[in-house]
Amino acid sequence: MKKLLFLSLFFLLAVGSRAWAALAPPGVLPDINGYEITCANDSFTPTMYFSGLGSEFPNTKGMNAEWVGPTGLPISASSKTTLTSRTASASTYTDSVGLYDTGGGGSSVNDFILLVSVSGQTASNFGINLQWVDHSDTTQNHTYNISDFIYGAQEWRPGPTTDMNLYPTQDMSDKSTAAKLMFIDLQAGVCSTGYVPVTFTLTGLYNNNAVAFNMYGYSPTGGNVYPGVPSIDWTNPVGVTSADNGYVVFGTAAPVPIPAAAWLLGSGLMGLVGLRRRTRS
C-alpha cells in the first residue's frame, strides 16, 4: 500500500511539473530544459523535459535513440557516431539531412522537432528552405529567414545535461560560435525506428557562418523516467557521449561588397538633394 501511494505521488509530481513549464521567451534560453519552446512553423509548443526541470537534474538519458546524418544510410553503430560536415563554397547551398530514431529503451517518439542553428554575423538575405513529407504524406515546403531564429545567440543547445554542443567540433568557449536557434515541428507521426529526410537550401551563407542541424524526439507518453508526461525527452548526443553525431555546413564564400559605382551614385544623389534644399532656401 505504501509503495502504491509513493508511486501515485511520484506520478502526480511528474505530471504536475508539466504544468509548471512556462513558454520560453525569445532570446537566450533560460536553462538546459524545463520550459516550452515555440516552433517557427506552427502553434505547437512542446516542453523540453528530459526527466527533470532545469540544470539541477542533469543526466545523460535520452541520447541513445536519436541521431542526425546523411539521408538513406542504414542505421548502424558506426554511422551513428559520424559527424557530417559540409563546406559551401558558394553563398547558396542545397543538400539533405536525415533524422533517425533507432527505438531506444522507453522510446515512444511520435514526432521529430528539428533544431537549426546559425552562428556568425548573418547577411540580410540569409534564409533556409526546408522540404519534407509529414505523417499524412503531405509535402511540406517552407522558407525561413533570420527573424524566425528567435532563440539565442548562445553556444549551447537544450538537452538532458549541460555543455551540449551545436556540432561535435565546436569549441563552446569560443564566443564567436554563438548561434541563433530555430525549432521546426516536422509533424512526423509515429517515427520510432524510422527516419525523416529533410532537403534544405541555404541562401546568404558566407565565410563566418556555420549552420548546424540537431533533432529532438517528442513523445505524448513521456520518457522512461517520468512516463505519462507529454514532452521532449530524446535528442542526438553532441559533446557528451562517445556516440556524438550531427550535421553542420560551414560557409566559405566571401560576402559580396557593394560596388564602388553604387557608392558614388549614392553620394551623388545625396549631393543633389542637398543642393536642391540650399537652392530653395
* Per-residue pLDDT reduced to its tens digit, 137-151: 899 999 999 999 999
The residue whose grid cell reads 545625396 is 270
Statement: residue 56 has pLDDT above 90: no
Cell numbers that stand for 99 in this block: 533524422
The reported pLDDT for the residue numbered 10 is: 39
Over residues 129-143, mean pLDDT: 93
Maximum mean pLDDT: which of 11-25, 138-152, 240-254:
138-152
Statement: residue 118 has pLDDT above 70: yes
Q: What confidence tens digit (pLDDT) does each residue in 30-42 have?
A: 998 889 999 999 8
Q: What confidence tens digit (pLDDT) does each residue in 149-171 have?
A: 999 999 999 988 777 899 988 99
Give how far Cα 66 sits from Cα of 26, 103, 148, 191, 193, Å.
26, 8, 25, 11, 9
DSSP string, 9-41: HHHHHHHHHHHH-PBPPSBS-SSSSSEE--BSS
- What is the DSSP pairing of strand 246-251 with strand 83-88? parallel
DSSP string, 236-269: ---SSSTT--EEEEEE-PPPPPPPHHHHHHHHHH
Q: pLDDT band for 110, please (50, 70, 90 cuts).
A: confident
- What is the DSSP pairing of strand 210-219 with strand 111-119? antiparallel
DSSP code for 5: H
Q: What is the largest CA-CA distance in the chain?
A: 95
Backbone angles phi, psi at 268, to 5 degrees: -65, -40
The reported pLDDT for the residue numbered 81 is: 64
As a whole number, the mean pLDDT across the chain is 78
The reported pLDDT for the residue numbered 203 is: 97
> Between 82 and 155, whose confidence is greater?
155
3-state DSSP of 119-140? ECCCCCCCEEEEEEECCCCCEE
Distance from C-alpha of 49 to C-alpha of 265, rounded to nearest angstrom: 56
| Number of neighbouring beta carbons within 10 Å of residue 152 | 21
The reported pLDDT for the residue numbered 60 is: 54
Expressed in percent and rounded to 5, the helix, strand and coil fractions of the chain are: 15, 30, 50
Asked if 96 and 70 touch (Cβ cutoff 8 Å), the reply is yes
pTM of the predicted model, to two decimals? Answer: 0.81
Distance from C-alpha of 152 to C-alpha of 181, rounded to nearest angstrom: 6
The reported pLDDT for the residue numbered 96 is: 95
